[in-house]
Amino acid sequence: SKILDVMLQNPTIKIDIRSHTDSRNTAEYNERLSERRALSSKSWLIKNGIKASRLSAKGYGEYQLVNKCADGVACTEEEHQANRRSEFIIVSIQ
């Protein structure tokens, strides 16, 4: 993956993994789902050689949608898909 390549090539980068869901299902379910996604990404990076100390991870559920697709709003599958994402934010480079 691109993030793994970047982290292997730049051993001082630390990242925060921020995972999100669409608004379907309950807010509580989506919080747990996004937390599992974030931790899964973190575990995969660790398994592939990245030190855990360089990673943080958090799930944000459906609270940071990138479009209008909140509860009760009719949206296409593509619009919902845009909200199901993980962001890799550089928090420090030394």
DSSP assignment of 75-93 equals --HHHHHHHSEEEEEEEE-
Residue showing tokens 């793994």: 4
pLDDT at 94: 84
Contact criterion met (CB below 8 Å) for 60 and 34: yes
Confidence category of residue 2, pLDDT binned at 50, 70, 90: very high
**Per-residue pLDDT at 61:** 97
For the entire predicted model, the pTM comes to 0.92
The pLDDT tens digits of the residues spanning 31-63 come to: 999 999 999 999 999 999 999 999 999 999 999
* CA angle, residues 44, 49, 50, in degrees to nearest 5: 75
